[in-house]
Structure 1
Amino acid sequence: MMTGKTTGILVLALGAMVPSVTLAEQLRFPATLNTSGVPGVIEMPSSASLEDGQLSVTTAHFGNISRNTLTFQISDRMSGSFRYSATRDWPNNGVNTYYDRSFDLRYRLLDETNWRPSLTIGLQDFVGTGLNSAEYLVASKHFGDRVRVSGGIGWGRLGSYNSFSNPLGLDDRPTDFEPTGGTFNFDRWFHGPAALFGGVEWQATDRLRLMAEYSSDGYIEEVGRGLIERKSPLNFGASYQIRPSVDLGLFYLYGSEAAVRFNVLLNPKNPAMGSGNESAPLPVNPAARAAAMSWPAQQSLPSEVTSQIVEAAKPVFEASELELEALHIGDRTATVRFRNPGYMVESQAFGRVARIMTHLMPQRITTFRLVPVDQGMELSALEINRADLEAAEHAPDGGESLYSRVNFYDPATTGLEDGVIAEGLYPRLNWGITPYVNAVLFGLENPLLADVGLRLSGSVDIAPGLSLNGSVTQLVIGNGDDEGDIETTSLPVVRTDRSLYAANNSPAIERLTLDYVFRPGRNFYGRFSAGYLESMFGGVSTELLWKPVGSRLAFGAEINHVMKRDYDQQFGFQDYDTTTAFLSGYYRFDNGYHAQLDVGRYLAGDIGATLSLDREFANGWRVGAFVTRTDASYEEFGDGSFDKGIRVTIPLGALTGQATRDTSAFALRPFNRDGGARLNVQGRLYERVREYHNPEVAESWGRFLR
């Protein structure tokens, strides 16, 4: 048997075989993802990090154990992971497979230098049942541009083989499982016996990597149940890069088990379609060549003439994936209200509109005022000097210099009272039929519940700010109603009976609301919605948001009174009504980080708060996490103890390269319970408004001239 001391000597000896090199060479050696889906060797962690913003999906299988992990490199130093593991022939809750959900956090404490290794601290399954909980400190060092050596000390699972007394003096560690899971295992962190682990990776070719490691995971429970056989602490394997973003690993574990690991990497900073293949913008038309001859000589145009200009301009906007809503032409300034149905990056929409205006406006118009609107509600105003726009188009630093000259302000006073609204906008019907997928992942008894069907959605724009919106769904195939028995607690059932709604095979009214958005004053935005607000609740919802155009900070308030809908999702209601209310604070940090705190009363009547932290990239990708704690006890909440999860929003335009604002969003949560449940209202104000404010527009300004 190899002792911890022997392991340390082996790791040092392997590292001494090759010379040290500079950091520039070391950075050419990317991280390997281990069978737990985090940077590591084979089973053990390493101190390496993924590229900032990297998103990875890993699946690994050996013996009776399967692991599926989503890992996100939150920042250059910190990463987080959500893992769903399945251990077969381990009876639990009447099912022959034990399903476990867990979260990891890692932080790189020290960077590698020519003489010092990098050092990372990690928490594995730090909030859960404790089955896979572990903590570790691990160091990694590159030797040449082909070899990386890692070694560390672990606790919990990673301190369960060939262990020794805790060097921190924290020898007592609970060994029982948390019955409901989901709790922070503070009393386990860095407690109990410790053990050493280590490994080496060799980049044999540009695609092939060979690895060997000494594992400190004793697999005590699994060996005791006869699920795997552990004959040796040594693991060996190879990893082959099929494509730059796809990797396959084959391993031989513990002298008895064959393993396979497959992972896909994706960095939202580098979309699959690069910069996009949308149509080229119109060139800026200098004022000296503008079509002034077709304009009347008088400075003030009759409204009927402006109406003719608006109708002529509509197809020009439509060709650029935009919609012209209204136009006002003054002596020196032209103000245009527009909708942006096409561009995920709002600064690009501003730039396209500005270019169009150079073709439409005569020489005497020296200033363009651009006002984006959403359902008739003005969101911001961007004022651009025409001469500055012309000068910026071909200047090396044109975009940067132009931004320093534009005026960005609140749109409450845009001078459009006498503007001409484009014909055909009000009233107007919009509709479409699309497929839908409703999925519930990582359940107690089933890892995947999904319904697939068709959705007929439509809206009627009645007047500026006023619209009728709805959707009807028809299930085609699925198993969403196969969730098993509803676990009852003392909380009212508001979400745990979702399988009863999924059992409806008839056409279902998913949503049908009358919505009104408005501007109650400078820096303020309002929304009122009434009807069938979502698939499970209907009623009234009202919201008020304070958000200055140039502020990182925003505050909101929302009040809803709702009733629970019948399971057939037609027009009836059940005998349950409630009022929810929230005060919300929003803050936009640098580098795309968004924080949100909601405090109030939830659907089940529990009172508490939800904290969310998301990172958004310039192309619209968004990855974040959320956690909710209310006055509902862990026992009242049930499995999971409290609501938490990871959410991802994927802009379809970043995948296809086409100009579109459509997105696909999903949330990964261990359990979706009644505690901490909130109403799913579409069109909440902050997400509608902040995209056309700073610093969002400022940070994406590079696409203004695209």
Structure 2
Amino acid sequence: MKRIAVIAFVSLAAGSAVEAQDSFAVRYSTYGLPGMVDMPTALSFPDSDLSVTVSDFGGTSRITGSFQVLPRVTGSFRYSRIRNDLGPNNDRFDRSFSLHVRLLEETRRRPALTLGINDLIGTGVYASEYLVATKHLTPRLRVTGGLGWGRLGSNNGFTNPLGFLSETFETRPSRDTGLGGEAELDQFFRGDAAFFGGVEVKATDKLSFAIEYSSDSYAREDGPTFDYRSPWNFGLTYKLRENVNVSAAYLYGSALGVQVTFTTNPTEPPYDGGGDPAPFPVTPRADVDVAALGWTQPNGGATAVGQLEEVLEAEGVPLHGFSIEGSVARVEIENTRWRANAQAIGRTARVLTGAMPPQVDTFVIRPVSNGIAGAEVTIRRADMEELASSLDNSWSSYARAQIEPTTTPSQPLARVYPRFDFGLAPYAQPSLFDPDAPVRADFGVQLNAQFEPAPGFLFRGSVRQKVFGNLDESDRVSDSVLPRVRSETNIYERTGPTDLMNLTGSYFFKPGRDLYGRVTVGYLERHFGGVSTEVLWKPVDSNLGIGVEANYVKQRAFDQGFGFRDYEVATGHASLYYDFNNGFEAQVDAGRYLAGDWGATLTINRTFKNGWKIGAFATLTDVPFEEFGEGSFDKGLLLTIPLDWARGDPTRQNFGYALRPILRDGGARLSIRDRLYEKVNQSHEQELRDGWGRFWK
């Protein structure tokens, strides 16, 4: 074994090695991380790659979601099943997180170097740490050598070399698996260490092989799950499609393994080209036919405004308000089709070049949502005419536009209100990680309706009819010692196929220059009804937003009709929002949660310019981990996928999901639609800037 380690590390230091080749794709280990077969490498996936890996060998099944958070940082969430781990016919279902951080880039003379931690805040089943180096020797050959601790230090282990720093590194404290969810920092990089390593060969553009020596003895699985006979693993991977890899392996001298990995990248749409209809052409003023547009008719331009309204409606930006003051046309629009408000503004400006009389030389366009006007975007008509055919027109038009706060209230056209809308659509509601059935789901149809009698007033309701599914099959009994605000969700699912999801009345208003307000009353969500109020301070040109929300709610009856249960609570939060201008956003919410506990939630999101959003959150409250129950505290991953990215045609709809390892009562917050920050920020300077690449589309 020592000879193997020496050979691996000598190879890594060889000065004659060539630089890494992008064409030699990074392989996925059985853990869904950059690896060979079961062991990690020091490589990283392409930035922003999102993958799902399903692997099975020797009675162990793993489903791993991995995300390349930054070019050097890979994060993953894993759900594993270890057969017979808790006794005959008694399987263990385990949830764990991993972090894989590349410390050094590979160069011509130096290998890549990466540090990783497995089971970061889990139960400790896969608790391990590693330091690993990888070097490409040729464009088709790379070698890896590493040092592991914990599970990865259990095969042919030796005294921890970090012991020279402190004797405490030589002993790994026993782990109190307890409820899981805690990072036991006193274990990291402690106890015996062991070498692992291997070689990867790229046989063809689609086929690669790997041979590795594992430092994991699989002590807990040896016997009840499979027979461990050898530390050598052999694997091959075939690229079935651009985003699908399949693998087969022979592991630990006795187990056959299979694996499939699906990858996508939010920056790369799955279709060629886009399905956006061609935009309205920019019309030079000399070509504008004033008489044909109706400006010369005796009704004062009403005919022209009606034509403008029809064209904008067809463009997916209904006209909300309009006025002409001298040479300035002020236009309020409602973006019902385009994901980026900048695209809706651009399409409006194009239409205005052909619809306004020649004396109008300035367009002031402001998006309106639920009666609240966003930032005013001022665009010179001459700039539209000049830049329509310019190669750098996106940046130039943004630089010339003025984005300023709205100083006057919305002035809708008389015929806009009142209005009523409804729709019937299918729904899918998944439930993941129930120990009795890791995957459950319901499918059915949902009727949505809304009525707006005047600007700022919105009445909304949704009724859901289940058609088929198995969410109602869960009979787990909550053991929570807290008020059961979420842990009895399965009872709500069992009470009937028809559910009143929400029924609310809301009022949106703007009490000051940078202030926004909301009041909502009614059945706010599936589990609670009452009153919710919110005030947000968010300047148009600021990266910072501050909000306060106060609610008084009562728990709804299990049948999700009009009745209530006995539990009621006052809850609310102060929130801070910050946009780092690099795609990352942070949100901190501090206050009182539904179970009466006090604490704070930190949410970090990475938002892409095409609307994808991937993030994570964690909530710590004054509830002790023992009282919280399994998982110790609330945490999870957030995913939002814009449907226009997947379909190719324009729509503002998206699919959003909060992936929690387990749903408990501590740290639970109301689920309310139309919170102000998302609604307001989409028409402020940062969001308009990020979406300005679509201004001319």
TM class by shorter-chain length?
over 0.9
Task: State the one-letter code of the partner of 1:191.
Answer: R
Match of 1:155 in 2: 149
Q: What corresponds to 2:339 in structure 1?
A: 344
For the aligned residue pairs, the C-alpha RMSD in angstroms reads 1.9
Q: CA deviation at 1:177?
A: 4.6
* Aligned counterparts of 1:377 and 1:293: Cα–Cα separation in 2: 34
From 92, 96, 100, the equivalent of 2:90 is 96
Counterparts of 1:410 and 1:440, CA distance in 2: 42
1:627 corresponding residue in structure 2? 618
The change in CA–CA distance for 1:230 and 1:556 in structure 2 (over 3 A counts) is: same
Match of 2:395 in 1: 400
Check conservation: 1:452, 1:478, Cα contact below 8 A.
yes
Q: Is it true that 1:118 corresponds to 2:112 in the alignment?
A: yes
Corresponding position of 1:325: 320
Q: CA separation in 1, counterparts of 2:304 and 2:190? A: 75
Within 1, Cα distance between the matches of 2:295 and 2:464? 56
Letter in 1 for 2:4: T
- For the 8 Å contact 1:548–1:554, the answer to whether it is kept is yes
2:662 corresponds to 1:691: no
Answering whether residue 236 of structure 2 is matched by residue 238 of structure 1, we say: yes
Q: Is the 8 A contact 2:15 2:108 kept in 1?
A: no
Tell me: CA distance 1:95–1:285, structure 2 relative to 1, closer, same or farther (3 Å): farther
1:168 partner SS: helix
Correspondence list, 1:413-432, <5 A: 413=408, 417=411, 421=413, 423=415, 425-432=416-423
Picking from 221, 224, 227, the partner of 2:225 is 227
Structure 2 distance, partners of 1:653, 1:296, is 36
Match of 1:146 among 131, 140, 143: 140
TM-score by length of 2: 0.96
462 and 95 in structure 1: CA distance in 2 versus 1, 3 angstrom threshold = farther
Q: Structure 1 residue 374 and structure 2 residue 366: aligned?
A: no
> What per-residue deviation string (whole Å, max 9, x for no partner) do you get for residues 238-270 of structure 1?
000011111000000011100011001100011
Unaligned runs of 5+ in 1: none
In structure 2, distance between residues paired with 1:148 and 1:470: 59
CA distance in 2, matches of 1:305, 1:88: 79
Residues 544, 556 of structure 1: 8 Å contact kept: yes
- Equivalent positions of 1:136-285 (< 5 A) are 136-169=130-163, 170-223=169-222, 225-285=223-283
Partner of 1:106: 100
CA distance in 1: counterparts of 2:206 and 2:479, whole angstroms: 52
Q: Does structure 2 conserve the Cα–Cα contact (< 8 Å) formed by 1:99 and 1:444?
A: yes
Q: Secondary structure at the match of 1:539?
A: strand
Confirm whether residue 521 of structure 1 aligns to residue 512 of structure 2: yes
Structure 2 CA distance for partners of 1:360 and 1:158, relative to 1, 3 Å: same
1:574 Cα deviation from its structure 2 partner: 0.3
Deviation, 1:151, is: 1.1
Q: CA deviation at 1:19?
A: 5.2
Shift of 1:508: 1.2
In 2, distance between residues paired with 1:661 and 1:347?
13
State the shift of 1:328 in Å.
0.9
Paired residues in the alignment total: 692
- Contact map agreement 2:451 2:459 (CA 8 A) in 1: yes
Determine the C-alpha separation between the residues in 2 that align with 1:143 and 1:399. Answer: 44
**Range moving further from structure 2, 595-604 or 394-403:** 394-403
- Aligned equivalents of 2:637 and 2:76: distance in 1? 9
Give the whole-Å Cα distance in 2 for the aligned partners of 1:671 and 1:569.
23
Q: Which amino acid aligns with 1:219?
A: Y
Question: In 1, Cα distance between the equivalents of 2:253 and 2:468?
Answer: 44
Counterpart residue type for residue 340 of structure 1: N
Residues 61, 18 of structure 1: CA spacing in aligned structure 2 closer, same or farther, 3 A cutoff? farther
Q: CA deviation at 1:288?
A: 1.6
Pick from 412, 430, 445 the counterpart of residue 436 of structure 2.
445
Q: CA deviation at 1:445?
A: 2.4
Distance 1:7 1:426 in 2: 77
Moved more, 443-452 or 524-533: 443-452
Query: 1:307 touches 1:422 (CA, 8 Å); kept in 2?
Result: no
Structure 1 range deviating more: 32-41 or 426-435: 426-435
Query: Could you tell which deviates more after superposition, 641-650 or 267-276?
Result: 267-276
- Contact 1:311-1:422 at 8 Å conserved across structures: no
Matched, 1:682 2:646: no
Aligned counterparts of 2:270 and 2:329: Cα–Cα separation in 1: 38
The residue identity in structure 1 corresponding to 2:202 is Q
Q: CA deviation at 1:310?
A: 2.9
- Say if 1:501 and 1:137 are closer, same or farther in 2 by CA, change over 3 A: same
The C-alpha deviation readout for 1:480-515, integer Å capped at 9, x for no partner, is 133333232321110000001001224211000001
Shift of the 280–458 alpha-carbon distance from structure 1 to 2, 3 Å rule, reads same
Answering whether residue 123 of structure 2 is matched by residue 135 of structure 1, we say no
After superposition, the C-alpha distances for 1:129-186 in whole angstroms (9 at most, x for unaligned) are 1111111111111122111211111111111111011111212223445121111121
1:668 Cα deviation after fit: 1.4
Pair 1:364-2:359 in alignment: yes
Q: Which residues in structure 2 correspond to 1:265-664 (within 5 Å)?
A: 265-294=263-292, 305-413=300-408, 417=411, 421=413, 423=415, 425-664=416-655
Among candidates 63, 67, 72, match of residue 58 of structure 2: 63
**Whole-Å separation in 1 of the counterparts to 2:633 and 2:293:** 66
Contact in 2 for aligned 1:561/1:577 (Cα 8 Å): yes
Counterpart code for 1:421: L
Cα offset for 1:334? 0.5
Looking at structure 2, the residues matched to 587 and 519 of structure 1 have their Cα atoms a distance apart, in angstroms, of 21
Give 1:11 shift. Answer: 2.4
SS of residue paired to 1:584: strand
Q: Is the 8 A contact 1:435 1:455 kept in 2?
A: yes
> How many angstroms apart in 2 are the aligned matches of 1:363 and 1:474?
54
CA distances 1:371-396 after superposition (whole Å, capped 9, x unpaired): 10111210111000000111111112
Alignment of 1:20 with 2:14, yes or no, is: no
For residue 586 of structure 1, give the secondary structure of its aligned residue in structure 2: strand
- Give the counterpart letter for 1:273 in structure 2: Y
Specify whether residues 22 and 191 from structure 1 end up closer, same or farther in structure 2 by C-alpha distance, changes over 3 A only: closer
Structure 1 runs of 4+ aligned residues shifted over 4 Å read 12-19, 294-298
